[in-house]
Structure formats: C-alpha cells, structure tokens
Structure 1
Amino acid sequence: MATWRELVTFIRQSYRVIRDEPEELRIRVHFRRDPDEEERTQMVVIAREVLDKREEWVQIATPFANAHEVDLISVLSEIGHTTVVGGAVVMGDYLVLRHSLPLVNLDINEFTDPLELVTGAAETLEEQITGRDEY
C-alpha cells in the first residue's frame, strides 16, 4: 500500500467507517477486555496530510479527554510511562493521542499496529482519567 486511495479502500473493507470525507475517515473501534465487561468504543480520525506539498502522510488521532477537565501534567506523565506509539496534543477542546506515518511504501502492518496501539492506549487513558466512555 502506498497511496491514500489504497489505504482508504483497506479501511473501508476492514473497519466500521462512521464518517467518510475525501481527506479524512472516522472509524469506531470496539473494546472488550473481559467477556463480563461492558463493551467500550473509541472514535478514531484517520486523515491524509501532505508534508511540504509533496509527501503524503497518514495521521491517526483519537480523543480521550476534554483538555480543560484534566490535570495535563498527570496525563502527560502517564503517557510517558505507558505509551509506546503516539503523542498527546490538544486539538480544540480535546486531548488527543495521535501518530503519523509516511504513506510511501507503507505496509499494512505499519498502519494496523500503530492504529491498534494508539486506539488502545487512548481507550485506557480515557477510562483511567475520566472514568467515562465518551469518545
């Protein structure tokens, strides 16, 4: 896979797309760690970015808290200790975990592994920090 169009085709075939725009897809990922637990979900934005007007990248971003409702130092410390892929940013009112990858010569596991890691980490952070399942 090396183009945005090929990645979009893969995402449409593999995930539940909840919003589909030319430069951005939103998917909903479901989590259930234990059969007795209630299912949780995480909304993920997958967007095409162009670096320096020539290089295509894909950005994976998922919100996990309202930035104004949390202690940012505590959140960033937790991310620093537990998260392998992605970094935290504030986007609008939201605290978001995101990761970006170049599309050129991208293998499918180079997309799916970070997607799962970022989404799983954001879901865990949301549960630990807010105690809710809003995103």
Structure 2
Amino acid sequence: MTTWTEVINYVRTRYEVLEETDSWLRFRLDTAEDRTQQVSVHHVPDAHGAWLEISSPVGWADKIDLRRFLELAGTSTVGGGAVVDRVALLKHTVPLEDLSVREEFERPLKFVVARADEFEQELTDGDHF
C-alpha cells in the first residue's frame, strides 16, 4: 500500500517544492520551450479511502475565456476543469491505495501539467503559473 509520506518523498526527490503542508504540496515542473508549470497535490482522505488530487493552474478565472477553457478541458483525456479561489485549474484525482507512484501518479501528473501549460499558453499568451 502506498502512503502519503511516500508520495511526498517521491516529489521532494524529483521536483522543486515551493510550498508544503501536512496534506498538500505545491511544486514546479519544467515544460516545453523554457516554460514552467506549477502543480499541487492534495491528500484527500474520505470514507472510501485516500485520494490524491492533482491540479495545475491555467489562469485567473476573471481574465480568461472560461467557455474556451471548459471546451479545452473537455478534450483532455486526463483531468477536468474547475475554478478554485478565482484560479482556473485542470484537476485529476487518483486513489492512493495500491498506487504505483511511477505509473498511476507520475503519468497523470505529467499529462495534467503539460495540458494545463498548453491551455495557459493559449488562453493567456503568458507563463504566469
């Protein structure tokens, strides 16, 4: 069984951690063409087990075309669109129990980050996150 501590250690050894709490990590990944993208991973325990919520910002909700954002999110194999604290996010959730960190965490993590960066580039013409 994979633990939240194992996920934290995996992230710490591979990425630049920007902020960390007992249940949340925010870190940065390099993307294409000298761009970077922030991503957060939340540990979300509930009655059905523990989950990891992966989210990456696309732009400030009041400064992007939200309809276009939802259209783009609808084409993504992994993740869905959301607005949290005025930030448009691409989010994906995976179960923590029996998680293969390399396959079931790393693959969706990189996919969400790459898609969020593409969406940010299209919707903002910048690299704000």
| TM-score category (smaller protein) | over 0.9
Residue correspondence of structure 1 range 1-135 to structure 2 within 5 A = 2-32=2-32, 37=33, 39-52=34-47, 55-81=49-75, 83-108=76-101, 109-135=103-129
User: C-alpha displacement at 1:23, in angstroms?
Assistant: 0.8
Which amino acid is the alignment partner of residue 6 of structure 1?
E
Structure 1: which 5+ runs fail to align?
A: none
Aligned-partner SS, 1:88: strand
Aligned-partner SS, 1:134: coil
User: C-alpha displacement at 1:84, in angstroms?
Assistant: 0.8
Partner Cα distance (2:99, 2:17) in 1: 21
Identity across aligned pairs (percent)?
32
Which amino acid is the alignment partner of residue 67 of structure 2?
I
1:93-125 deviation digits (Å, cap 9, x = unpaired) = 100001111100000210000000000000000
Structure 1 segments (4+ residues) deviating >4 Å? none
Under a length normalisation based on structure 1, what TM-score does the superposition of the two structures give? 0.89
User: C-alpha displacement at 1:71, in angstroms?
Assistant: 2.1
Partner Cα distance (1:20, 1:72) in 2: 29
**What is the count of residue pairs matched by the alignment?**
128
Under a length normalisation based on structure 2, what TM-score does the superposition of the two structures give? 0.93
User: C-alpha displacement at 1:25, in angstroms?
Assistant: 0.8
Larger radius of gyration: 1
